[in-house]
Amino acid sequence: MFNTKKLAKLFAVGALALGVLAVAGCGDDSSKETEKVNPNAKVVNVATRGTVRPYSYTTDDGKLTGFDVELLREIERRNPNLHFEFKPMAVDAAFVAMDAGQVDMIANQMRRNPTRESKYYYTNEVNNYSTRKLVVKNDRNDIHNLDDLKGKKIAVTTSSEFNELVKAFNETANPPIDIIYTDKAGAETLNLVATGRADAAGEYEYVINSAVKDRGLPLKAVGDVLAVVPTYFLSKRTDDMKQVNDEIDKTMKEMRADGTLKKISEEYLGGDYTFDPQK
């Protein structure tokens, strides 16, 4: 007969050994990654969506990338005294996390507004200029501007400047535009339009182009540019983050001057969006 106590002990030892091997394997992977990081570097925890092409998204093999992410990685390469740790989360959650001291910065196409400027720090150098247009299904020819959307449904991200634009339009519109709110940015607004649950959305032009090219969504941009929005990084309002922002600004100026900023824009946004198209 088997000694059940002895057999159970053998299983426990075996499981422990496998667990140690698994942890050791994970440790090897992480050590390879951290070997490249200056151990004395200031660690900046950065909240970023991780779900929105082409700014911040995860590839099929699990790598976090995108325009905002790669900008900070290039800044880190040029400044080994800084190390950016990325924490994927929605924008609303990012502000909660930053107020709680869990993250130091938000990298998510952040625009300036007076309320945020009184509470947080922004970098001064513009990351890129976002041109926002209406997007509809590619078989529709009845929508070209906000007037055409009276009485129809539009998908809007709650934290966007487009939300404010549509609400202002609705103050005099009769009938008003029916607003569908989401906090999931372009990933959700474009899906709502593509599936017919919304008649239109207002999205950045290169997000629309990326959705058509990379995801095959049946969409098209229509009408005139509704807004040109400069975007920045946003951080906690502390002395150490002021120093980090100053270093980011200095490096961004160098990247703009040597063409690196333009190159990253062309790679991830499909064109050079590093200058104000209205000037």
If pLDDT is split at 50, 70 and 90, which confidence band does 38 have?
A: confident
If pLDDT is split at 50, 70 and 90, which confidence band does 34 have?
A: very low
Mean pLDDT of 161-190: 89
pLDDT given for residue 119 in this prediction: 97
Q: What tens digit of pLDDT does each residue of 83-117 get?
A: 999 999 988 899 999 999 999 999 998 989 889 99
Phi and psi, residue 156, nearest 5°: -135, 135
Task: Please indicate whether residue 41 or residue 18 has the higher confidence score (pLDDT).
Answer: 41
pTM of the complete model beyond 0.85: no
Spatial distance between the Cα atoms of 121 and 113, rounded to a whole number of angstroms: 11
DSSP string, the chain: ---HHHHHHHHHHHHHHHHHHHHHHHHHHHHHHHTTS-TTSEEEEEEE-SEETTTEEE-TTS-EESHHHHHHHHHHHH-TTEEEEEEE--HHHHHHHHHTTS-SEEEEEEPP-HHHHTTSEE-SS--EEEEEEEEEETT--S-SSGGGGTTSEEEEETTSHHHHHHHHHHTT-SSPPEEEEESSHHHHHHHHHHTTSSSEEEEEHHHHHHHHHHH---EEEEEEEEEEEEEEEEE-SSHHHHHHHHHHHHHHHHHHHTTHHHHHHHHHHSS--SS-TT-
